[in-house]
Amino acid sequence: MSELNDRFKVVAELTKMYRPERFTYLGISIISFLILITSVIVVLIDSSDRSVVLVSMFGSSGVVTLASGRSLYMWKESMSRLFKSDSGDNRNE
């Protein structure tokens, strides 16, 4: 049972360590998502100059994807340390 407690402590330390990074990426994701929604609304309302709006749509969707992926990195690390097995990778067995 102490090994499980040690793993929980490692996860808690990782959570504390990645906290500022998580909030930064969360803020970037929210801002980019708002830009994406605004771009879609502008395309629907005004169809005169779509090139600038389309660039902002693709750019903000890429930033949302990147920031979401980076914010999930901490959870991947935590789960891999929490559920690690002594016999190696058993997923294919």
Over the stretch 27-59, which tens digit does the pLDDT of each residue have?
888 888 898 888 888 888 876 767 777 777 788
Q: What is the pLDDT of residue 90?
A: 47
> Percent of the chain beyond pLDDT 70?
86
Q: Answer yes or no: are the C-beta atoms of 15 and 26 closer than 8 Å.
A: no
Q: CA-CA distance, 73 to 76, in Å (whole number)?
A: 5
pLDDT of amino acid 1: 65
Give percent above pLDDT 90 in the chain.
0
**25, 65 in Cβ contact below 8 A?**
no
User: One-letter amino acid identity for 20?
Assistant: P
Distance CA 85, CA 11 (A): 16
Domain boundaries, the chain: 2-82
Question: Given pLDDT bands bounded at 50, 70 and 90, which one contains residue 71?
Answer: confident
How far from each other are the two terminal CA atoms of the chain, in whole angstroms? 26
Q: Which residue stretches of the chain are H helix?
A: 2-17, 19-45, 50-71, 73-82
